[in-house]
Structure 1
Amino acid sequence: MNYIDRLVAELCPDGVDFYPIEELFTTRNGYTPSKSNSSYWENGTVPWFRMEDIRENGGVLSEAMQSVHESALKKGGMFPTGSIIVATSATIGEHALINVDFLCNQRFTVLTPKEEFKSLLLPKFLYYYSFVLDRWCLSNTTQSSFASVDMKRFKKFEFPVPPMEIQEAIVEILDKFTNLEAELEAELEAELEARTLQYEYYRDSLFEALDCPRVPLGSFARLVRGSGMPKTDFSESGVGAIHYGQIYTKFGTATAEVIAHVPEDKAKKLAVVNPGDVIVANTSENLEDVCKAVAWVGDSDIVTGGHATVIKAPEQNAKFISYYMATGRFNKDKRRHAFGTKVIDVAPKNLAKIEFPVPPLEEQQRIVDILDRFDSLTTSLSEGLPAELAARRSQYEYYRDQLLTFPRKGDNQ
C-alpha cells in the first residue's frame, strides 16, 4: 500500500465522493470576438487562449499568445482564474489550467468550480484529473461536419473530491514526475542535437577536404522540372511517385521506396525519375527546405510533379550529390539564387549554376559509405529518442492513473 492509498484508507474509510460536472462546475463556452470589428483586436489586455497556447506553452498557463480588448467581452465577462479549459470540438483530448482571468475560443468548454465547492477543490488536482476526462472525451464524440464531444453526457462525467490533504499530496507527487519527465526530455533532445551537429560538421569537413574540380551542376547533369501531380491524383496503386512536399517531410538523403502512387494514365504526363536520379524540392515556405534533395535508389522508374526538379547525372553517384546538397556550403550558395517571400523558389536554371565537387567515382563512393554509417547512427538516435520518451511518458501516465483512482463512496469495499 503506497502513501496515497494509506491516506485514502485513513481519511476516506467509506470511499470518496464523486460529483458530475454539471453539479461541480459552472460550464460556459469560449468564443471568438468578431474579426470584422478591428477595435476588438487592438490594444488588447484580456488574454484570449487558443489550442496554439497549449501546444506552445503547456497545460498550466498564465499568459496568452493573443489578447483582445475589453470591449470584446460579452455580458458574462471574463472566465475566472483557476478554471479548466477542455477541448470539446475539432481537436479533442486536450485541456489546460488557466491561472489568470481570461477568454478562450469556441473550441473550448470552460469549467469553473461553483462557489460552494471552491474550498474543497485544488485547481491543480482538477488539472491532473482532467487527463482522465480527456480520454473520456476522445471516446465520446458525435460526428457532424467535425467531431465534437457529446455534451449531454459530458456534463454527467464525474470528478472525485477527496479531502484536501489527499489532493495536495497527489499534486506534489505528480508535479515532481512532470518536472522529471521534462528534464529527461531536455537531456535526450540535447544529446540528439549534439550528435546531429557533430555529424553535420564531419559531413561538411569531408566535402571541404576534397581536392577536385568544382563545376556548375548544369555542366555534368541534365535538370528536368516537373509539373502537375496534385495530391488528389494519388491512388492506392499504379506508378510510384514522390511529391515535392514529401521530400522535406518524409524522406532522408535517399530512398528505395515510395509512399504514394498515381494512375498510369496520369503518370505519362509527369517527369520520369530513373534509378540513380536525384529529386529536388524547388519550392518551400522557408529557405531551409528549398532544394532539399532525395536520391532515388529504387530499382524501377517512378514519377514526380510540380515544384520538383529531377537531376539526371548517370555518370555520378546520386547519393553523393544528395549528401552534398545538405552541406552548409551548398545551403549558402542556394541562398544567392532563391527568390520569393511567402513562397521561396530556386529555379532549375539557377540551380544549374551552383558549383558541385566532382571527384572520381571511387572517392564519391568512399564518402557515401562513411556518411551512410553516420546517417544510420543519427537516424537510430532520432528514432530512439521518441521511443525512449514514449516509454517514460507511458510509465508516468500509468502511475498518474493509479494515483487518480479512488474507491467510490457507497461501493462495496
Structure 2
Amino acid sequence: MSRIDDLIVDLAPNGVNHVLLSQVASYSDTRIDAHKLDETNFIGVDNLLSNKGGKTDATYLPNTARLTRYETGDILIGNIRPYLKKIWLATGIGGCSGDVLAIRISDEYRDLFLPEFLYQVLSSDNFFAYNMQHAKGAKMPRGSKDAILKYPVPVPPMEVQREIVNILKKFSELEEELEAELEAELEARQQQLSHYRDSLLSFDDTVPSFTLRDVCDISRGRVISKNYLRDHQGTFPVYSSQTQNRGIFGYVDTFEYDFESVTWTTDGANAGSVFYHNDEQFSITNVCGLLKVKSPNFLSSKYLYHQLGKHAKSYVSAGMGNPKLMANAMGSVSIPIPSLDKQEQIVDVLDKLDALIGDLSVVLPGEIAARRKQFEHYRVKLLTFGEKTA
C-alpha cells in the first residue's frame, strides 16, 4: 500500500477525480454477424461464470442474425440476477446476447483509463450491491442499464491504476493457488476416506452374501404432487428423488410408514442415491423406493445403508436415457452380511468417517470463502480514494 500512497501523494496530492461511468465509458454500439461466432467467442449469460469466475465456452449458439459486438478490453456483465456477480474482461473479439452488457471505455479516455482497472472497479462487491439496489423484477431481477452508467468511478493517474492492477492480479493469483490447494486437499481426504470405507465394507468368501429380496421388504411410494404438499402442510417428511436434505421433498399432515428404513431414488440423474431414516413417521413418492429389514437381529438398517452407498449405483440402468433403479433391480443387489456385532462396529466407524467428511466439507469451503472476503476487503481498500478538491 505504501507504494500506492506515495504515488497518490506525488501525482494526486489534492485527491482523485470521481466521475459517473457514463463519462468514461458506454455500452458497445457495434454489431457482429452470428455466423462469425462459435462456442469460444459467443457470450450468453449462461456461459458467464458466477462469483467473478470469468467465462466458459458456450453450450449453444445464438439464434439471431446480428449481435452486440465486444472487443478486447470491453467489460462484459451478466445483466440477469446481478447478485450472481457475472463479469469478464474480454480478451478478444466476439458477440454477446442481449442479457450481457458490453461496457467499452470511450475513445477520449483510452489514454487515461486502463480496462483492467475499470474491470477491478466493476468487479467489486460495492458495484454489484449497487446494481442489485437498482435492479427491477423479483423472481428474475435485471440490472438497470441507466443506473449502471450512473455508478461513480475513480479516475486516478495511470501510474496508480497500473500499480493497483498489478497488486490485485498478484493477489488474485495467490487466491486461486490457495483455493486450488484447499480443493485438492478436500478431494484427497474424500478419496482417502472413501477408500477406507470400501475396505471396511469388503469381506472374503467366509462372510455370506444375501440379495436384498431375501433380507428386506421392498416397496415403492405413490404420486405426491406439489399441490398435495401445499394443501396438506404438516410436520411429517415426504421423501422423493432429490439428494439434498436427506431426500426430503416436503412435509405433510399425515404419514404412511413408521419404522427404521432405507430409501432410495428410483428415477432420474440421482437414481441409486440412498438415505437412512431412524424410526420416524414418513411417506415416500413414486420415484422413491423403500427397504425395511425383515430381521433387525440379523441385519442392521444402518449397515444396509452403508453397503448400498457402495453398491447401489452399479445396479442403475440407463433406461432409454433416464437412469433407473427399480424394485426388481434393487432386490437383486447382493451384500455381504457379517455378524450383527461386526455390523455395529463397522457402522460406528463409518458414522465417524461421515462426520469427518461433513466437517471437512464445511471447514475447507469456509476457508475459501474467508480468503475471498479478504481479497474483496483489499480490493475495496485499494480502489477507495479521497475525492479531488479545488
Q: TM-score scaled to structure 2, two decimals?
A: 0.88
User: Equivalent residue of 1:103, what SS?
Assistant: strand
Mapped contact 1:141–1:147 kept (Cα < 8 A): yes
Mapped contact 1:16–1:409 kept (Cα < 8 A): yes
Aligned to 1:353: 332
Aligned to 1:94: 86
- Is it true that 1:167 corresponds to 2:189 in the alignment? no
Aligned to 1:204: 198
Aligned to 1:81: 72
1:96-120 per-residue CA deviation (whole Å, 9 max, x = no partner) reads 1111111112222211111101111
Aligned to 1:36: none
Compared CA separation, residues 13 and 141, structure 1 to 2 (3 A): same
Mapped contact 1:125–1:171 kept (Cα < 8 A): yes
Aligned to 2:96: 104
Query: Which amino acid in the other structure matches residue 337 of structure 2?
Result: V
What is the alpha-carbon root mean square deviation over aligned residues?
A: 3.0
The within-5 A match list for 1:380-391 is 380-391=359-370
User: Equivalent residue of 1:276, what SS?
Assistant: strand
Query: Which amino acid in the other structure matches residue 224 of structure 2?
Result: M
Aligned residue-pair number: 382
User: Equivalent residue of 1:300, what SS?
Assistant: strand
Q: Distance in 2 between matches of 1:374 and 1:25?
A: 54
Q: Distance in 2 between matches of 1:142 and 1:330?
A: 46
Q: Distance in 1 between matches of 2:197 and 2:366?
A: 26
Mapped contact 1:17–1:408 kept (Cα < 8 A): yes
User: Equivalent residue of 1:245, what SS?
Assistant: coil
- Is it true that 1:307 corresponds to 2:287 in the alignment? yes
CA-CA distance at 1:56 after TM superposition: 8.2
Mapped contact 2:54–2:87 kept (Cα < 8 A): no
1:123-168 per-residue CA deviation (whole Å, 9 max, x = no partner) reads 1111111123222112221227731223332221122111111111
Compared CA separation, residues 59 and 198, structure 1 to 2 (3 A): closer
Query: Which amino acid in the other structure matches residue 144 of structure 2?
Result: D
Q: Distance in 1 between matches of 2:274 and 2:117?
A: 49
Q: Distance in 2 between matches of 1:348 and 1:373?
A: 30
Which of these residues, 326, 345, 357, is aligned with residue 309 of structure 2? Answer: 326
Q: Distance in 1 between matches of 2:191 and 2:41?
A: 39
Identical columns (%): 26
Mapped contact 1:213–1:359 kept (Cα < 8 A): yes
The within-5 A match list for 1:327-406 is 327=310, 329-332=311-314, 334-335=315-316, 338-406=317-385
Q: Distance in 2 between matches of 1:46 and 1:387?
A: 33
- Is it true that 1:122 corresponds to 2:114 in the alignment? yes
**Unaligned 5+ residue runs, structure 2?**
none
Which of these residues, 251, 263, 271, is aligned with residue 261 of structure 1? Answer: 251
Compared CA separation, residues 65 and 227, structure 1 to 2 (3 A): same
The within-5 A match list for 1:28-47 is 28=28, 40=34, 44=38, 47=41
When structure 1 is superposed on structure 2, of 366-375 and 339-348 the one drifting more is 339-348
1:331-365 per-residue CA deviation (whole Å, 9 max, x = no partner) reads 33x14xx1324321111111101112222222211
Aligned to 1:37: none
1:160-219 per-residue CA deviation (whole Å, 9 max, x = no partner) reads 111111111111111111111111111111111111111111111112126421111011
**Unaligned 5+ residue runs, structure 1?**
34-39, 253-257
Q: Distance in 2 between matches of 1:20 and 1:105?
A: 25
Q: Distance in 2 between matches of 1:242 and 1:197?
A: 32
Compared CA separation, residues 56 and 162, structure 1 to 2 (3 A): closer
Compared CA separation, residues 32 and 58, structure 1 to 2 (3 A): farther
Query: Which amino acid in the other structure matches residue 221 of structure 2?
Result: G
Q: Distance in 1 between matches of 2:79 and 2:45?
A: 11
When structure 1 is superposed on structure 2, of 199-208 and 43-52 the one drifting more is 43-52
Query: Which amino acid in the other structure matches residue 181 of structure 1?
Result: E
Query: Which amino acid in the other structure matches residue 9 of structure 1?
Result: V
Which of these residues, 130, 143, 149, is aligned with residue 155 of structure 1? Answer: 149
1:223-273 per-residue CA deviation (whole Å, 9 max, x = no partner) reads 110121234443595142243233x23339xxxxx6831243xx5xxxx34
Compared CA separation, residues 296 and 71, structure 1 to 2 (3 A): closer
Query: Which amino acid in the other structure matches residue 277 of structure 2?
Result: W
User: Equivalent residue of 2:360, what SS?
Assistant: helix
User: Equivalent residue of 1:126, what SS?
Assistant: helix
- Is it true that 1:243 corresponds to 2:236 in the alignment? no
Q: Distance in 2 between matches of 1:232 and 1:10?
A: 68
Mapped contact 2:48–2:78 kept (Cα < 8 A): no
Q: Distance in 2 between matches of 1:230 and 1:377?
A: 36
Compared CA separation, residues 57 and 68, structure 1 to 2 (3 A): farther
Query: Which amino acid in the other structure matches residue 120 of structure 2?
Result: Y
Mapped contact 2:37–2:95 kept (Cα < 8 A): no
